[in-house]
Amino acid sequence: MYGNDFPGEDPPGGLLGEVEAAEAALRAAAERGRGAIEPSEDLAAYFAEVVAADQKIEPRDWMPEAYRRTLIRQIAQHAHSEIIGMQPEGNWISRAPSLKRKAILLAKVQDEAGHGLYLYAAAETLGVSRDELVDLLLSGRQKYSSIFNYPTLSWADVGAIGWLVDGAAIVNQVPLCRCSYGPYARAMIRVCKEESFHQRQGYEILHTLAHGTPAQKAMAQESVDRWWYPSLAMFGPPDGDSTHSAQSMAWKIKRFSNDELRQRFVDMCVGQAEVLGLRIPDPELRWNEERQAYDFTQPDYDELMRVIKGNGPCNRQRMEHRRRAHSEGAWVREAAAAYAAKRAEKEKVAA
Protein backbone atom coordinates (compact mmCIF):
# COMPACT_ATOMS: atom_id res chain seq x y z
CA MET A 1 0.00 0.00 0.00
CA TYR A 2 1.10 3.52 -0.74
CA GLY A 3 0.65 6.48 1.55
CA ASN A 4 -2.20 8.01 -0.41
CA ASP A 5 -4.24 4.96 -1.29
CA PHE A 6 -5.74 3.84 1.97
CA PRO A 7 -9.47 3.51 1.46
CA GLY A 8 -11.28 6.69 2.44
CA GLU A 9 -14.88 7.74 2.76
CA ASP A 10 -16.95 7.54 -0.40
CA PRO A 11 -18.79 10.71 -1.38
CA PRO A 12 -22.58 10.16 -1.28
CA GLY A 13 -24.57 10.05 -4.49
CA GLY A 14 -21.76 8.51 -6.52
CA LEU A 15 -21.88 5.36 -8.57
CA LEU A 16 -20.63 3.33 -5.62
CA GLY A 17 -23.65 4.51 -3.66
CA GLU A 18 -25.89 3.13 -6.41
CA VAL A 19 -24.06 -0.20 -6.25
CA GLU A 20 -24.61 -0.36 -2.51
CA ALA A 21 -28.28 0.52 -2.95
CA ALA A 22 -28.57 -2.34 -5.46
CA GLU A 23 -26.92 -4.68 -2.99
CA ALA A 24 -29.34 -3.61 -0.25
CA ALA A 25 -32.28 -4.11 -2.64
CA LEU A 26 -31.00 -7.61 -3.42
CA ARG A 27 -30.93 -8.47 0.27
CA ALA A 28 -34.33 -6.92 0.85
CA ALA A 29 -35.81 -8.92 -2.05
CA ALA A 30 -34.37 -12.10 -0.56
CA GLU A 31 -35.89 -11.31 2.85
CA ARG A 32 -39.29 -10.47 1.39
CA GLY A 33 -39.31 -14.00 0.10
CA ARG A 34 -41.57 -14.89 -2.74
CA GLY A 35 -44.63 -14.36 -0.59
CA ALA A 36 -47.75 -14.80 -2.61
CA ILE A 37 -45.92 -16.19 -5.60
CA GLU A 38 -45.69 -19.97 -5.62
CA PRO A 39 -44.35 -22.17 -8.38
CA SER A 40 -47.33 -23.75 -10.08
CA GLU A 41 -48.09 -25.76 -13.18
CA ASP A 42 -47.76 -22.61 -15.23
CA LEU A 43 -44.00 -22.08 -15.15
CA ALA A 44 -44.05 -19.19 -17.60
CA ALA A 45 -46.53 -17.26 -15.46
CA TYR A 46 -44.46 -17.95 -12.38
CA PHE A 47 -41.31 -16.68 -14.14
CA ALA A 48 -43.13 -13.53 -15.25
CA GLU A 49 -44.38 -12.92 -11.73
CA VAL A 50 -40.95 -13.30 -10.17
CA VAL A 51 -39.50 -10.82 -12.67
CA ALA A 52 -42.40 -8.41 -12.18
CA ALA A 53 -41.92 -8.52 -8.40
CA ASP A 54 -38.23 -7.55 -8.84
CA GLN A 55 -37.11 -10.84 -7.38
CA LYS A 56 -34.19 -12.85 -8.68
CA ILE A 57 -34.27 -15.81 -11.03
CA GLU A 58 -31.85 -18.44 -9.72
CA PRO A 59 -30.01 -21.17 -11.65
CA ARG A 60 -32.42 -23.99 -10.81
CA ASP A 61 -35.58 -21.97 -11.57
CA TRP A 62 -37.39 -22.54 -14.82
CA MET A 63 -36.69 -19.82 -17.40
CA PRO A 64 -37.64 -19.26 -21.04
CA GLU A 65 -35.05 -20.75 -23.37
CA ALA A 66 -34.55 -17.38 -25.08
CA TYR A 67 -33.87 -15.72 -21.70
CA ARG A 68 -31.23 -18.35 -20.99
CA ARG A 69 -29.64 -17.91 -24.42
CA THR A 70 -29.61 -14.11 -24.19
CA LEU A 71 -27.98 -14.24 -20.77
CA ILE A 72 -25.36 -16.74 -21.87
CA ARG A 73 -24.48 -14.52 -24.83
CA GLN A 74 -24.38 -11.34 -22.80
CA ILE A 75 -22.51 -12.69 -19.77
CA ALA A 76 -20.01 -14.64 -21.88
CA GLN A 77 -19.24 -11.64 -24.07
CA HIS A 78 -18.85 -9.58 -20.94
CA ALA A 79 -16.39 -12.17 -19.59
CA HIS A 80 -14.45 -12.28 -22.87
CA SER A 81 -14.18 -8.48 -22.76
CA GLU A 82 -12.55 -8.57 -19.35
CA ILE A 83 -10.00 -11.12 -20.55
CA ILE A 84 -9.18 -9.43 -23.88
CA GLY A 85 -9.21 -6.08 -22.04
CA MET A 86 -6.09 -7.13 -20.17
CA GLN A 87 -4.06 -6.76 -23.37
CA PRO A 88 -4.20 -3.02 -24.14
CA GLU A 89 -3.25 -2.16 -20.57
CA GLY A 90 -0.85 -5.05 -20.18
CA ASN A 91 1.01 -3.39 -23.04
CA TRP A 92 2.18 -0.68 -20.59
CA ILE A 93 3.05 -2.75 -17.50
CA SER A 94 6.75 -3.00 -18.32
CA ARG A 95 6.88 0.68 -19.32
CA ALA A 96 4.92 2.32 -16.49
CA PRO A 97 6.68 5.56 -15.50
CA SER A 98 7.09 4.80 -11.78
CA LEU A 99 7.09 1.79 -9.49
CA LYS A 100 3.88 3.01 -7.83
CA ARG A 101 2.03 3.34 -11.16
CA LYS A 102 3.34 -0.05 -12.19
CA ALA A 103 2.12 -1.75 -9.02
CA ILE A 104 -1.31 -0.15 -9.44
CA LEU A 105 -1.52 -1.21 -13.08
CA LEU A 106 -0.56 -4.78 -12.15
CA ALA A 107 -3.30 -4.86 -9.50
CA LYS A 108 -5.79 -3.51 -12.00
CA VAL A 109 -4.97 -6.08 -14.68
CA GLN A 110 -5.20 -8.79 -12.03
CA ASP A 111 -8.70 -7.49 -11.19
CA GLU A 112 -9.71 -7.76 -14.86
CA ALA A 113 -8.74 -11.44 -14.83
CA GLY A 114 -10.82 -11.85 -11.68
CA HIS A 115 -13.82 -10.12 -13.30
CA GLY A 116 -13.53 -12.48 -16.26
CA LEU A 117 -13.59 -15.45 -13.90
CA TYR A 118 -16.58 -14.20 -11.84
CA LEU A 119 -18.48 -13.71 -15.09
CA TYR A 120 -17.56 -17.07 -16.62
CA ALA A 121 -18.72 -18.65 -13.35
CA ALA A 122 -22.04 -16.75 -13.58
CA ALA A 123 -22.46 -17.90 -17.21
CA GLU A 124 -21.79 -21.49 -16.20
CA THR A 125 -24.78 -21.48 -13.84
CA LEU A 126 -26.86 -21.31 -17.06
CA GLY A 127 -25.63 -24.70 -18.16
CA VAL A 128 -22.67 -24.02 -20.46
CA SER A 129 -19.08 -24.83 -19.64
CA ARG A 130 -16.32 -22.27 -19.63
CA ASP A 131 -14.39 -24.41 -22.10
CA GLU A 132 -17.27 -24.13 -24.57
CA LEU A 133 -17.40 -20.36 -24.14
CA VAL A 134 -13.66 -19.99 -24.63
CA ASP A 135 -13.96 -22.07 -27.80
CA LEU A 136 -16.73 -19.76 -29.02
CA LEU A 137 -14.44 -16.77 -28.47
CA LEU A 138 -11.40 -18.37 -30.07
CA SER A 139 -13.38 -19.45 -33.12
CA GLY A 140 -14.80 -15.93 -33.48
CA ARG A 141 -18.43 -16.95 -32.89
CA GLN A 142 -18.70 -14.77 -29.79
CA LYS A 143 -17.51 -11.17 -29.51
CA TYR A 144 -15.92 -8.97 -26.91
CA SER A 145 -16.25 -5.22 -26.36
CA SER A 146 -15.29 -3.17 -29.41
CA ILE A 147 -13.20 -0.81 -27.30
CA PHE A 148 -10.34 -3.28 -26.80
CA ASN A 149 -9.58 -3.21 -30.51
CA TYR A 150 -8.00 0.23 -30.15
CA PRO A 151 -4.26 0.52 -29.50
CA THR A 152 -2.59 2.04 -26.42
CA LEU A 153 -0.06 4.41 -27.94
CA SER A 154 1.09 6.42 -24.90
CA TRP A 155 1.21 6.14 -21.12
CA ALA A 156 -1.68 8.61 -20.93
CA ASP A 157 -3.85 5.97 -22.63
CA VAL A 158 -3.71 3.96 -19.41
CA GLY A 159 -5.28 6.98 -17.71
CA ALA A 160 -7.84 7.54 -20.47
CA ILE A 161 -8.86 3.87 -20.36
CA GLY A 162 -9.38 4.10 -16.62
CA TRP A 163 -11.37 7.31 -16.75
CA LEU A 164 -13.38 6.89 -19.99
CA VAL A 165 -13.45 3.18 -20.75
CA ASP A 166 -13.88 1.95 -17.19
CA GLY A 167 -16.15 4.93 -16.52
CA ALA A 168 -18.40 3.91 -19.44
CA ALA A 169 -18.26 0.31 -18.24
CA ILE A 170 -19.47 1.34 -14.77
CA VAL A 171 -22.33 3.44 -16.11
CA ASN A 172 -23.34 0.37 -18.11
CA GLN A 173 -22.83 -2.10 -15.27
CA VAL A 174 -24.34 -0.31 -12.29
CA PRO A 175 -27.90 -0.95 -13.57
CA LEU A 176 -26.91 -4.60 -14.17
CA CYS A 177 -26.48 -4.90 -10.38
CA ARG A 178 -30.31 -4.97 -10.40
CA CYS A 179 -30.60 -7.45 -13.27
CA SER A 180 -33.25 -10.15 -12.87
CA TYR A 181 -30.77 -13.04 -12.99
CA GLY A 182 -29.32 -13.50 -9.48
CA PRO A 183 -25.80 -14.80 -10.27
CA TYR A 184 -25.23 -12.02 -12.83
CA ALA A 185 -26.51 -9.31 -10.44
CA ARG A 186 -24.23 -10.57 -7.67
CA ALA A 187 -21.21 -10.73 -9.98
CA MET A 188 -21.88 -7.17 -11.15
CA ILE A 189 -22.00 -5.87 -7.58
CA ARG A 190 -18.56 -7.32 -7.00
CA VAL A 191 -17.21 -6.09 -10.32
CA CYS A 192 -18.55 -2.54 -9.95
CA LYS A 193 -16.91 -2.02 -6.58
CA GLU A 194 -13.54 -2.94 -8.05
CA GLU A 195 -14.18 -1.11 -11.31
CA SER A 196 -14.61 2.05 -9.30
CA PHE A 197 -10.99 1.73 -8.18
CA HIS A 198 -9.97 1.42 -11.84
CA GLN A 199 -11.86 4.51 -12.89
CA ARG A 200 -10.40 6.61 -10.09
CA GLN A 201 -6.82 5.49 -10.67
CA GLY A 202 -7.22 6.37 -14.36
CA TYR A 203 -8.62 9.77 -13.47
CA GLU A 204 -5.70 10.36 -11.13
CA ILE A 205 -3.20 9.52 -13.87
CA LEU A 206 -4.81 12.06 -16.22
CA HIS A 207 -5.09 14.65 -13.47
CA THR A 208 -1.39 14.30 -12.67
CA LEU A 209 -0.44 14.55 -16.34
CA ALA A 210 -2.78 17.48 -17.01
CA HIS A 211 -1.18 19.40 -14.13
CA GLY A 212 2.37 18.44 -15.09
CA THR A 213 4.61 19.79 -17.83
CA PRO A 214 3.11 21.11 -21.09
CA ALA A 215 4.32 17.94 -22.83
CA GLN A 216 2.53 15.78 -20.25
CA LYS A 217 -0.63 17.81 -20.57
CA ALA A 218 -0.51 17.54 -24.36
CA MET A 219 -0.08 13.77 -24.05
CA ALA A 220 -3.14 13.57 -21.78
CA GLN A 221 -5.21 15.68 -24.19
CA GLU A 222 -4.15 13.68 -27.24
CA SER A 223 -5.18 10.52 -25.45
CA VAL A 224 -8.62 11.85 -24.46
CA ASP A 225 -9.08 12.97 -28.07
CA ARG A 226 -8.54 9.40 -29.28
CA TRP A 227 -10.59 7.57 -26.63
CA TRP A 228 -13.67 9.83 -26.38
CA TYR A 229 -15.71 8.56 -29.34
CA PRO A 230 -14.78 4.88 -29.02
CA SER A 231 -15.91 5.14 -25.36
CA LEU A 232 -19.26 6.63 -26.41
CA ALA A 233 -19.62 3.78 -28.90
CA MET A 234 -19.25 1.26 -26.03
CA PHE A 235 -22.93 1.82 -25.18
CA GLY A 236 -23.84 0.13 -28.46
CA PRO A 237 -25.89 1.19 -31.45
CA PRO A 238 -28.58 3.88 -31.05
CA ASP A 239 -31.88 2.64 -29.61
CA GLY A 240 -33.53 2.44 -33.03
CA ASP A 241 -30.97 -0.12 -34.25
CA SER A 242 -30.47 -2.15 -31.11
CA THR A 243 -31.69 -5.69 -31.79
CA HIS A 244 -31.85 -7.16 -28.30
CA SER A 245 -32.89 -4.14 -26.26
CA ALA A 246 -36.68 -4.40 -26.07
CA GLN A 247 -36.77 -8.02 -24.98
CA SER A 248 -33.89 -7.54 -22.52
CA MET A 249 -35.70 -4.63 -20.93
CA ALA A 250 -38.94 -6.62 -20.64
CA TRP A 251 -37.01 -9.37 -18.83
CA LYS A 252 -35.30 -6.77 -16.64
CA ILE A 253 -31.87 -7.83 -17.80
CA LYS A 254 -31.31 -4.29 -19.04
CA ARG A 255 -32.82 -1.37 -17.15
CA PHE A 256 -31.99 1.55 -19.43
CA SER A 257 -31.59 1.94 -23.18
CA ASN A 258 -28.21 2.41 -24.89
CA ASP A 259 -28.95 6.07 -25.59
CA GLU A 260 -30.07 6.81 -22.03
CA LEU A 261 -26.84 5.38 -20.63
CA ARG A 262 -24.73 7.20 -23.21
CA GLN A 263 -26.40 10.48 -22.23
CA ARG A 264 -25.78 9.79 -18.54
CA PHE A 265 -22.11 9.13 -19.29
CA VAL A 266 -21.67 12.36 -21.26
CA ASP A 267 -23.37 14.40 -18.53
CA MET A 268 -21.04 12.87 -15.96
CA CYS A 269 -17.86 13.40 -17.98
CA VAL A 270 -18.30 17.11 -18.70
CA GLY A 271 -17.74 18.18 -15.09
CA GLN A 272 -14.95 15.66 -14.62
CA ALA A 273 -13.14 16.96 -17.72
CA GLU A 274 -13.37 20.52 -16.38
CA VAL A 275 -11.62 19.50 -13.17
CA LEU A 276 -8.97 17.73 -15.21
CA GLY A 277 -8.45 20.86 -17.27
CA LEU A 278 -8.83 18.77 -20.44
CA ARG A 279 -11.10 19.36 -23.42
CA ILE A 280 -13.70 16.89 -24.64
CA PRO A 281 -13.09 16.71 -28.41
CA ASP A 282 -16.61 17.66 -29.46
CA PRO A 283 -17.32 21.15 -30.86
CA GLU A 284 -21.08 20.51 -30.62
CA LEU A 285 -21.01 19.73 -26.90
CA ARG A 286 -23.25 22.18 -25.04
CA TRP A 287 -25.78 22.33 -22.24
CA ASN A 288 -29.39 22.04 -23.34
CA GLU A 289 -31.53 23.93 -20.84
CA GLU A 290 -34.73 22.38 -22.13
CA ARG A 291 -33.58 18.77 -21.85
CA GLN A 292 -31.48 19.44 -18.73
CA ALA A 293 -28.71 17.44 -20.41
CA TYR A 294 -25.78 17.99 -22.75
CA ASP A 295 -26.18 17.88 -26.51
CA PHE A 296 -23.27 16.04 -28.09
CA THR A 297 -22.02 14.53 -31.34
CA GLN A 298 -22.87 10.84 -31.72
CA PRO A 299 -19.95 8.46 -32.28
CA ASP A 300 -19.41 7.02 -35.76
CA TYR A 301 -21.65 3.94 -35.77
CA ASP A 302 -20.33 2.75 -39.12
CA GLU A 303 -16.92 2.58 -37.52
CA LEU A 304 -18.45 0.69 -34.56
CA MET A 305 -19.94 -1.88 -36.95
CA ARG A 306 -16.61 -2.27 -38.77
CA VAL A 307 -14.81 -2.86 -35.47
CA ILE A 308 -17.44 -5.33 -34.22
CA LYS A 309 -17.18 -7.22 -37.52
CA GLY A 310 -13.44 -7.70 -36.94
CA ASN A 311 -11.92 -4.83 -38.88
CA GLY A 312 -10.81 -2.42 -36.16
CA PRO A 313 -7.19 -1.40 -35.64
CA CYS A 314 -6.20 -4.30 -33.33
CA ASN A 315 -8.83 -7.06 -33.78
CA ARG A 316 -6.42 -9.51 -35.39
CA GLN A 317 -3.61 -8.82 -32.96
CA ARG A 318 -5.90 -9.29 -29.91
CA MET A 319 -7.34 -12.59 -31.13
CA GLU A 320 -4.02 -13.92 -32.30
CA HIS A 321 -2.49 -13.19 -28.91
CA ARG A 322 -5.37 -14.90 -27.10
CA ARG A 323 -5.21 -17.95 -29.41
CA ARG A 324 -1.47 -18.22 -29.01
CA ALA A 325 -1.67 -18.04 -25.20
CA HIS A 326 -4.28 -20.81 -25.34
CA SER A 327 -2.40 -23.15 -27.68
CA GLU A 328 1.04 -22.55 -26.20
CA GLY A 329 -0.38 -23.12 -22.72
CA ALA A 330 -1.92 -26.46 -23.67
CA TRP A 331 1.00 -28.53 -22.38
CA VAL A 332 0.89 -26.73 -19.01
CA ARG A 333 -2.82 -27.50 -18.61
CA GLU A 334 -2.13 -31.12 -19.56
CA ALA A 335 0.68 -31.35 -17.01
CA ALA A 336 -1.55 -29.95 -14.25
CA ALA A 337 -4.32 -32.40 -15.12
CA ALA A 338 -1.91 -35.35 -15.25
CA TYR A 339 -0.45 -34.38 -11.88
CA ALA A 340 -3.93 -34.03 -10.34
CA ALA A 341 -4.88 -37.46 -11.72
CA LYS A 342 -1.71 -39.03 -10.31
CA ARG A 343 -2.34 -37.50 -6.88
CA ALA A 344 -5.96 -38.66 -6.87
CA GLU A 345 -4.83 -42.18 -7.82
CA LYS A 346 -2.28 -42.26 -4.96
CA GLU A 347 -4.87 -41.10 -2.45
CA LYS A 348 -7.24 -43.82 -3.62
CA VAL A 349 -4.55 -46.49 -3.11
CA ALA A 350 -3.68 -45.11 0.34
CA ALA A 351 -7.31 -45.00 1.47
What is the binding site for other proteins (CB under 8 A)? 38-39, 58, 60-61, 107, 110-111, 114, 117-118, 121, 124, 129-131, 134-135, 138-139, 187, 326, 330, 333-334, 336-337, 339-340, 343-344
Distances (CA, A) of 67 to 39, 49, 110, 122, 228: 18, 15, 31, 14, 33
- Minimum CB separation of residue 85 from other proteins in Å reads 17
State the minimum distance, in angstroms, from the CB of residue 139 to other proteins.
7
Rounded Cα–Cα distance for residues 76 and 123 (Å): 6
Residue type, 196: S
CB of 178 to other proteins, least distance (A): 19
Angle between helices 130-138 and 65-84 (to 10 degrees): 70
Cβ atoms 102, 93 nearer than 8 A? yes
**Toward other proteins, which CB reaches closer, 194 or 259?**
194
Shorter beta-carbon distance to other proteins: residue 215 or 344: 344
DSSP 177: G
If the CB atoms of residues 133 and 269 are measured against other proteins, the closer one turns out to be 133
Q: Are 261 and 332 in contact (CB under 8 A)?
A: no
Least CB distance to other proteins at residue 345 (A): 12
Nearer to other proteins, 130 or 306 (CB): 130
Exposed, middle or buried by CB within 10 Å (0-12, 13-18, 19+), for 103? middle
Minimum separation from the CB atom of position 36 to other proteins (A): 14
> Which residue number, 41 or 302, has a Cβ lying nearer to other proteins?
41
Q: Which is nearer to other proteins, 134 or 233 (CB)?
A: 134
Instruction: Tell me the one-letter amino acid at 64.
Output: P
Minimum distance of other proteins from residue 211's CB (angstroms): 29
The nearer residue to other proteins, 128 or 270, going by C-beta atoms, is: 128
Cα angle for residues 189, 55, 245 (degrees, 5° grid): 70
Distance CA 74, CA 253 (A): 10
- Residues in CB range of 255: below 8 A, 6 or more apart: 175, 176, 178, 179, 249
Residues 6+ positions from 154 with CB-CB distance below 8 Å: 219, 222, 223
Question: Considering beta carbons, is residue 56 or 226 the nearer one to other proteins?
Answer: 56
**Bridge partners of 294?**
287
**In the complex, least distance from residue 141 CB atom to other proteins, rounded to whole angstroms:** 12
Dist. CA 238–CA 232, nearest whole Å = 11
Q: In the complex, what is the shortest distance from the CB of residue 158 to other proteins, in angstroms, rounded to a whole number?
A: 20
